[in-house]
Structure 1
């Protein structure tokens, strides 16, 4: 749910932040990274930090290789100043290696949170919080509850 009382600058930040799930992942358009991310941007996630566009691109490519049909739906957005928070649902089929896990052919639907901070009109930092446990469970890598 987007707040209708956003300033024009906050609306623009929301629009730009949504391009990650909707255009980069939704359309596989990795060239947008250069347009959206500052050259020295940092992407924080469960596997550490990717610093700079090249490292961020490699991380995104790995996910898109594993789930080439991925779609991401932005379920909710909160904007506060220079930060945009998004609740996202990802769906796709595991068709490529991911984290050393060979393709399973299984379909997934997982929820994620992303917090995107802007500086000078570009993404300076992004914190990505995926539900990796649910992902691994859906790929049948882990049981729940554990046996």
Structure 2
């Protein structure tokens, strides 16, 4: 893209490229769309820095390689862009960090996204969708309180384990 084309690009068109290109695995314009210190909030955590968010996206596409998202509505107000989207795909890979086995099941969920831009790059983004509905469509939502507690315990142990290993690397007890 030339400088003149970039200058004509709006935050809405940048947002559309994030959802249409980046979320589908086309990272060719990724560094042009996200600031180096961008912060992205998702139902699976907050990712600080565009490298951390790209790693999350690459891992997610490994779990759901046929992922796609369609924008249903987009609104721009100043440097903020908001959009409603529908996402769909088939979970064929395991999400080890989330403790989720591969299911082969498909999902389709609505979601919302809010992105803040500065100097033509996304500096902060909030992606919101129903994680419980996602688990239910994948057949992973626990069917009993005991199973739910077990799933919650796995998630807590995986998060606490990573924090413990972080502390031990930094010399904390």
TM-score, length basis structure 1: 0.85
Number of residue pairs matched by the alignment: 138
Question: What SS class does the counterpart of residue 56 from structure 1 fall into?
Answer: helix
Unaligned runs of at least 5 residues, structure 2: 1-6, 147-173
Question: What SS class does the counterpart of residue 109 from structure 1 fall into?
Answer: strand
Once the two structures are TM-superposed, the CA of residue 45 in structure 1 deviates from its matched residue by 2.0
User: Which residue in 1 is equivalent to 2:118?
Assistant: 119
Question: Residues 93 and 118 of structure 1: is their aligned pair in 2 closer, same or farther, counting only changes over 3 Å?
Answer: same
Once the two structures are TM-superposed, the CA of residue 59 in structure 1 deviates from its matched residue by 1.1
- Ranked by relative contact order (alpha carbons within 8 Å, sequence separation 6 or more), the top structure is 1
Taking the aligned partners of 2:69 and 2:43, their CA distance within structure 1 comes to 19
Q: Which has more radius of gyration?
A: 2
Query: Does the 8 A contact of 1:10 with 1:82 survive in 2?
Result: no
Question: What SS class does the counterpart of residue 134 from structure 1 fall into?
Answer: helix
Once the two structures are TM-superposed, the CA of residue 137 in structure 1 deviates from its matched residue by 0.5
Aligned match for 1:62, one of 49, 59, 62: 59
Which protein has the bigger strand share?
Answer: 1
Mapping 1:13-28, distance limit 5 Å: 13-26=11-24, 28=25
The answer on 1:135 being equivalent to 2:134 is: yes
Mapping 1:1-147, distance limit 5 Å: 12-26=10-24, 28-98=25-95, 99-142=98-141
Query: Does the 8 A contact of 1:71 with 1:92 survive in 2?
Result: yes
TM-score, length basis structure 2: 0.73
Deviates more, 1:45-54 or 1:58-67: 45-54
Question: Residues 143 and 48 of structure 1: is their aligned pair in 2 closer, same or farther, counting only changes over 3 Å?
Answer: closer
Once the two structures are TM-superposed, the CA of residue 143 in structure 1 deviates from its matched residue by 5.5
Unaligned runs of at least 5 residues, structure 1: 1-8
* Cα RMSD after superposing both structures: 2.2
Deviates more, 1:114-123 or 1:96-105: 96-105
